[in-house]
Amino acid sequence: MFDIYNRKIDYIRISVTDRCNLRCIYCMPEKGIQSIDHKDILSYEEIIYLCENFAKIGISKIKITGGEPLVRDNLAYLIKKIKSIQGINNVTLTTNGILLEEQIDSLVKSGLDAVNVSIDSLDEIAYKSITRIGDVNKVMRGINKTLKYKHIVVKVNCVPIAGVNDEQILDITKMAQNKNISIRFIELMPIGLGKKIKGISEDRIKMIIEENFGKLTVFNKSIGNGPSNYYSLDNFQGKIGFISAVSHKFCEKCNRARLTSNGFLKTCLQYSEGQNLNTLIRSGKNDEEIIEIIKKTIYNKPRENRFLEAEDYENFEQNIMSQIGG
Ligand code: SAM
Ligand code: SF4
């Protein structure tokens, strides 16, 4: 379907939990957060029902996210069910990778198309200082096992943070040299804990990469569902991408909506606007009514983010990123 600004909306990010087995400094407080009560989290059957309705309005691509999606039991079951819905042709996952090694076989069997693994440093100590509790070796084992499945697209997400993982930008880039992995450097967004931390600009990252690996050449094809701008490097198998919602905003071509784990349909990362679908489906509204409400909510998607404005407006998102899904 198209929204009020004539953008084609065909992609939804679905968060299946607000819980996580890591505590990344820009995303989750050290002591965690009060988790949403289990009874308020959408069941798999409710998520599948909503996906059937999303497909009817033209959504064809679904990303499963969290919190950490792999901490929810039997995620492969959900993926298999979503993948079998007519009209849904691409189901992908964003994960911190800690549980990937043990789950990738069943995820692949379920029909998963691609995996994005978030990894902000390859250095054991730096990785632990960012995630507070994570073991980067586990993540690497998960990535290497996933790469054995040649049809699965593997990408690495890295959020560069000033003074924390600057030194790691080259090592992360190198992951694309001899392996079929594309890297995406994600600009830190001023959401939740990200408001208090300083990221590194796209231009600076490009400079660091070019000084060491040569010219980044624009790669015009898209890889996956998202807004990333990709570049090639000579003698690199994978591409290098940038998702810079603050310094190079891409709102005019945004194609996405989000569903939080408690069933809130969110139309822009920065705003609290949207519609609680959980109460609607539990109050017994029929399919036509639900579809109309979904369409109306998505149609009214905000025009653009206001990340560069210093003010914190009343309708800005107050939840932290792990509650939204990134
Ligand atoms: N736990 C999974 C993971 O880490 O991939 C999925 C959820 S996580 C919220 C999704 C993505 O959001 C991760 O790549 C993470 O690095 C990114 N993220 C979290 N907070 C962010 C922020 N303030 N700005 C930019 N990206 C952020
Ligand atoms: Fe957890 Fe992902 Fe947030 Fe890190 S970025 S705390 S892994 S939800």
Is 6 within the bounds of a domain? Answer: no
Q: Considering the domain boundaries, does residue 4 fall inside one?
A: no
Residue type, 27: C
Q: Which residues contact 21 (CB under 8 A, 6 or more apart)?
A: 68, 71, 96, 98, 99, 133
Domain containing residue 120: CATH number:
3.20.20.70
Q: Which residues are known binding-site members for [4Fe-4S] cluster?
A: 20, 24, 27, 251, 254, 268
pTM score of the predicted model = 0.96
Other Cβ atoms within 10 Å of 163 Cβ, number: 9
Q: What is the pLDDT of residue 308?
A: 78
pLDDT band at residue 323 using 50, 70 and 90 as cut-offs: confident
In the prediction, which pLDDT does 227 show? Answer: 74
Q: How many angstroms separate the CA atoms of 187 and 201, rounded?
A: 7
Number of Cβ within 10 Å of residue 325's Cβ equals 25
Mean pLDDT of all residues in 316-320: 81
Considering the domain boundaries, does residue 132 fall inside one?
yes
Residue 179 carries which side chain, given as an amino acid letter? K
In a domain, 179, yes or no: yes
* pLDDT tens digits along 152-174: 999 999 999 999 999 999 999 99
Task: State the pLDDT at residue 310.
Answer: 67
**CB 131 within 8 Å of CB 27:** no
CA of 67 to the centre of ligand 2 (A): 6
Assess whether pLDDT exceeds 80 at residue 225. no
Which residues, 6 or more positions from 17, have their beta carbon under 8 angstroms from its beta carbon? 41, 66, 67, 68, 69, 71, 72, 261
For the chain, the average pLDDT equals 94
| 315 assigned to some structural domain | yes
Using most ligand atoms within 8 A of CB, pick from 16, 28, 95 the residue to mutate for ligand 2.
28
Domain with 121, as residue range(s), is 11-324
CB 30 within 8 A of CB 132: yes
- Among 27, 247, 319, the mutation site with the greatest number of ligand 1 atoms within 8 A of its Cβ is 27
- Domains contained in the chain, number: 1
Question: Ligand 2 within 6 A of 22 CB?
Answer: yes
Closest CA to 181 of 211, 199, 209, 158: 158
